[in-house]
Amino acid sequence: MSTADETTPGTVYDVDILIVGAGPTGLYGTYYAGFRDLRVALIDALPQTGGQVAALYPEKAIHDVAGLPAVRGQELVDSLHEQALSADPLLLLGRTAVGLEEHEDGVEVTTDTGELVRAKAVLITGGIGSFTPRELPVGSEYLGRGLRYFVPRLAELADQDVLVVGGGDSALDWALGLEPIARSVTLVHRRPQFRAHERSVTQLHESGIEVLTPFEVAKVSGDPGIDEVVVETRDGDRRTLAVQAVVAALGFIADLGPIEGWGLELHRRHILVDRTMRTNRTRVFAAGDLAHYDGKVKLISIGFGEAALAVNHIAALVRPGTALNPGHSSDQ
C-alpha distances in Å from residue 181, one per residue of 145, 147, 199, 251:
20, 18, 21, 24
150 is in an annotated binding site: no
CA gap 104, 89 in Å, rounded: 24
CA gap 287, 292 in Å, rounded: 8
CA gap 175, 177 in Å, rounded: 5
Q: Interior CA angle at 91 toward 85 and 94, to 5°?
A: 135
- Name residues whose C-beta falls within 8 Å of residue 198's C-beta, 6 or more positions apart in sequence: none
13 is in an annotated binding site: no
87 is in an annotated binding site: no
Longest Cα pair distance anywhere in the chain, in angstroms?
A: 73
52 is in an annotated binding site: yes
Is 7 exposed, middle or buried, given 0-12, 13-18 or 19+ CB atoms closer than 10 A?
Answer: middle
Q: Interior CA angle at 28 toward 22 and 34, to 5°?
A: 105
- Name residues whose C-beta falls within 8 Å of residue 304's C-beta, 6 or more positions apart in sequence: 24, 25, 28
- Residue from 100, 110, 93, 105 nearest 50 by CA: 93
160 is in an annotated binding site: no
CB atoms within 10 A of CB 138: 14
CA gap 145, 293 in Å, rounded: 44
- Residue from 178, 250, 165 nearest 209 by CA: 178
- Residue from 272, 274, 17, 44 nearest 123 by CA: 17
97 is in an annotated binding site: yes
57 is in an annotated binding site: yes
Annotated binding-site members for FAD: 25, 44, 52, 57, 97, 131, 289, 330
Annotated binding-site members: 25, 44, 52, 57, 97, 131, 289, 330
